[in-house]
Chains A and B, each alone.
Chain A
Amino acid sequence: MSAVATATTGLPWLWLVSRGSGLVLLVLFTAVVVLGVSTRLGSAPRALPRFAVAELHRTLALFAVALLVLHVVTAILDPYVRIGWWATVLPFASHYRALALGLGTLAVDFGAAVVLTSLARRRLGFRLWRAVHWLAYLSWPLAFAHTLTAGGDMGIWWVAGLVWGSASAVAVAVGARVLASIRSGAVSLSRGSVLSKVPRIPAGARGA
């Protein structure tokens, strides 16, 4: 089938779509992470209400899942490389570039856990949902490493720009998140959980 495609146009479509969708996926995944952090921080621009940020986070995540299917299927169908179907869920199981693809598979495994628990989160309860959601912070770096190792178009300036731009965006988002939790830890310490001595009303209350 793809041989026909190549023959008619001279372009390896499956391979192109697979790699192209991979790059778009990285950008999408980056956006999802940044939006997710921003919902937590409440730091979205004023033009965008918080519920819109939350909805966008979900919508983009689900869209990314759809695009991921395309990315994976085209990669497997592509006759130039031999990747078995099992490699989609079992990391490091393919013969072709085991490490590079394995990283991608791991990213998908963790990402799938995040997405599935999110879809069922009302039934699972907040604590379980939240615990699994932390895997997102593992999934993104794995996807990034997969991009660097399995990607290979870094010589093209705009590809490199998108890839490193994504990395910076996530770094800033995570940095802000870490700072925020340090600060909120300090706030709760100074507030109600610590008993302060009852202050004496100064004598200035008496007389004019």
Chain B
Amino acid sequence: MSSRVRIRVDRIACDGRGLCGEILPELITFDDWGFPIIKENLVPEDLDGVAHDAVELCPKLALRLEALEQECCSSKVVRTSVVATSWTPS
């Protein structure tokens, strides 16, 4: 059982500022207009710290990390809880 995180972007808050893809090019790339394409949202363990940096640095606070709890062999997500977020419900 591993405790991994998924990175997600709030598409309405996101303004295409581009910092996330610079910090995490392994997971995030950009479309023709500068908006992020998350190639892979499951964060590898060695990039965990970098992912937290990206969440912290996003100028629009549009990124968040969700923990997957109890991801079992059938890769069925049982519960997700928010680990780090800059997004707050309005």
Given that A122-B85, A125-B88, A126-B13 are known contacts, is A54 also in contact with B19, CB under 8 Å in the complex? yes
Per the bound structure, the CA–CA distance linking A52 and B22 in Å amounts to 9
Beta-carbon contact of A42 and B17 below 8 Å = yes
Per the bound structure, the CA–CA distance linking A51 and B18 in Å amounts to 8
| Cross-chain contact of A49 among B13, B22, B84, B88 (Cβ < 8 A) | B22
The closest CB in chain B to the CB of A36 belongs to B59
Beta-carbon contact of B18 and A50 below 8 Å = yes
A192 to chain B, nearest CB (A): 12
Q: Quick one: which of B31-90 are within 8 Å of A by CB? A: 53-54, 56-57, 59-61, 84-88, 90
| Cross-chain contact of A55 among B18, B57, B60 (Cβ < 8 A) | B57
| Cross-chain contact of B18 among A42, A122, A126, A127 (Cβ < 8 A) | A42
The closest CB in chain B to the CB of A128 belongs to B88
Beta-carbon contact of A121 and B86 below 8 Å = yes
Chain A residues within 8 Å of B18, by CB: 42, 50
What range describes how many residues of B lie at the interface? Answer: 10 to 19
Is the C-beta of A40 less than 8 angstroms from some C-beta in chain B? yes
Per the bound structure, the CA–CA distance linking A8 and B86 in Å amounts to 54
Beta-carbon contact of A51 and B22 below 8 Å = yes
| Chief secondary structure at chain A's binding surface | helix
Per the bound structure, the CA–CA distance linking A55 and B60 in Å amounts to 15
Chain B residues within 8 Å of A42, by CB: 17-18
Beta-carbon contact of A40 and B59 below 8 Å = yes
Beta-carbon contact of A122 and B56 below 8 Å = yes
Per the bound structure, the CA–CA distance linking A121 and B23 in Å amounts to 20
Is the C-beta of A39 less than 8 angstroms from some C-beta in chain B? yes
Beta-carbon contact of A51 and B56 below 8 Å = no
Per the bound structure, the CA–CA distance linking A126 and B57 in Å amounts to 12
The closest CB in chain A to the CB of B53 belongs to A51
Chain A residues within 8 Å of B56, by CB: 122
| Cross-chain contact of B61 among A39, A51, A52, A126 (Cβ < 8 A) | A126
Beta-carbon contact of B86 and A51 below 8 Å = no
Beta-carbon contact of A51 and B57 below 8 Å = yes
Beta-carbon contact of A39 and B86 below 8 Å = no
Chain A residues within 8 Å of B61, by CB: 121-122, 125-126, 129
Per the bound structure, the CA–CA distance linking A52 and B59 in Å amounts to 13
Chain B residues within 8 Å of A39, by CB: 17, 59
A193 to chain B, nearest CB (A): 14
9 residue pairs of the A-B complex, CB under 8 angstroms, read: A40-B59, A54-B59, A121-B61, A121-B86, A122-B56, A122-B84, A126-B61, A126-B86, A129-B61
Which chain B residues have a beta carbon within 8 Å of chain A's beta carbons?
A: 13, 17-19, 22-23, 53-54, 56-57, 59-61, 84-88, 90
Which chain A residues have a beta carbon within 8 Å of chain B's beta carbons?
A: 39-40, 42, 49-52, 54-55, 121-122, 125-127, 129
